[in-house]
Structure 1
Amino acid sequence: MAEGVCKEIQVQCECNYQPDSDYQQGNCPFVSLIDGAGNVKDGKGGVAILNLDGSMKNVNWITGLNAPKGLAIYKNTLYIADLTAVVSVDIPSGKIINKLEIAGAVFLNDITVDNKGVLYVSDTRTNKIH
């Protein structure tokens, strides 16, 4: 396989949830679930883990989020863009370790991390990258 090219793995989940983004680490696909209004702090959202066949492994892996969207991983931490905050989750334990409110954020949408661990999160309502 050429450098920079990854093998496509297709996972299809038929579920009664409102998925937004997915991120796969190894054999573990994570999926953010809005499960409420996409712009309201309602605590109905979360992150699920799927099996590679698309079946639900753990729909309640992380719960109590507001409107989780983008996902990124650095080392053993999953970062979640959750409306106005970035939520950090320790992957091995499945525990939320930090919730950082982003000043002035309105609608955090996607998140990425560089090779030094610096996070970048987009806000589609304010047209900013934090």
Structure 2
Amino acid sequence: MQKKLIISTLMLAFLATGCATEVKSNQGVMQKITGLKTPESAVQAKNGKIYVSEINEFGKDGDGQITVIENGKKRVFATGLDDPKGLAIIGKTLFVADKTKIMKIDMDGKVQTFVPTSAFPVTPLFLNDLEADPQGNLYVSDSGDLFGAGKGGAIYKISPKGEVKLLINNEQDARVKAPNGLLADDTGKVLIYVDFTSGILYSLNTDTKALNDIAEGFGGGDGLLHRSNGTMYVSDWKNGKVFSVNTKGDVALVKGGYQSAADIAITKDEKYIMVPDMKAGELDFIPLQ
């Protein structure tokens, strides 16, 4: 009962002002994009352009890049990044979680540091997903020592001025193992996230720090998104699957068969889920009814 109540409350908050903007596109049916270099995240701008972060070789600084896809064709948009992962767009600026810092990129592809490593209360280990709220704040997950001892997980809030505030970490709550995909409601008081290590979907009250589980069984939980009808979708990187979670908290498999389904996103017209398949080097599109 508690889980269903949490789900219903959250969905009402999202539905209040979370309807997608219709984007008219001449692309027709979305076609899979291949030949990407370890794609991790994707986001679509209001003008229909899709931006994809490409890590290339993990741990090798300077070889990461952002690719833009327009009318089904891809081109390099920005270079010189390290291990770019989560993406978020605010206005005409693309923000990128890049290893231990947050970068910003203008629409001409110029890259600048927005939040340096030194601005965090402790040095991040593995900055991962990035989420924006209507007030212009950013939320970033630090998945910590992801493939080691499972420590260092944290979630931060970043103001429009680049000021960093810790929301919760592994020391405050042991359930915060490797937070990954994020969803913020329109007030900024509720943050939903999926944990890569436990595969559990949580809701976090950013004021009280209360953490409640919503659903589980997502393996290596990675990406997280919601539709304006209240349905959420979660990707499982380890098992190559994408799941749906309805307003009752029921989980259903949407599609499997990926090598590593990373940070999923939804197109602005809500017709497709964009799935970066990291190991396959592809961006897939799941049509929605």
Deviates more, 1:106-115 or 1:44-53: 44-53
Q: 1:36 to 1:6 in 2, by over 3 A?
A: same
Identity among equivalent positions (%) equals: 33
Deviation at 1:72, TM superposition (A): 0.1
Aligned residue type for 1:66: D
Residue number among 63, 78, 96 corresponding to 1:62 in the alignment: 78
Structure 2 length-normalised TM:
0.39
Q: Which runs of 4+ in 1 moved over 4 A?
A: none
Aligned to 1:42: 61
Q: 1:122 to 1:16 in 2, by over 3 A?
A: closer
The answer as to whether partners of 1:41 and 1:83 remain within 8 angstroms in 2 is no
Aligned to 2:154: 128
Higher strand fraction: Structure 1 or Structure 2? 1
Q: Deviations along 1:69-122, whole A, 9 cap, x unmatched?
A: 00000011100000101001112x221233422331110000011111111110
Q: RMSD over aligned Cα, in angstroms?
A: 2.3
Quote the Cα distance in structure 1 between the aligned partners of 2:48 and 2:70.
Answer: 8
The answer as to whether partners of 1:46 and 1:65 remain within 8 angstroms in 2 is yes
Quote the Cα distance in structure 1 between the aligned partners of 2:67 and 2:44.
Answer: 12
Of structures 1 and 2, the larger Rg is shown by 2
Residue number among 92, 108, 111 corresponding to 1:96 in the alignment: 111
How do residues 1-130 of structure 1 correspond to structure 2 at under 5 angstroms?
4=19, 10-25=30-45, 26-37=47-58, 40-53=59-72, 55-56=73-74, 58-59=75-76, 61-91=77-107, 93-102=108-117, 103=120, 104-125=123-144, 126-130=152-156
Quote the Cα distance in structure 1 between the aligned partners of 2:60 and 2:102.
Answer: 13
The answer as to whether partners of 1:121 and 1:129 remain within 8 angstroms in 2 is yes
Higher helix fraction: Structure 1 or Structure 2? 2
Structure 1 length-normalised TM:
0.83
Q: Deviations along 1:18-40, whole A, 9 cap, x unmatched?
A: 11100001310000000011xx2
In structure 1, stretches of 5+ residues that fail to align are none
Aligned residue type for 1:89: I
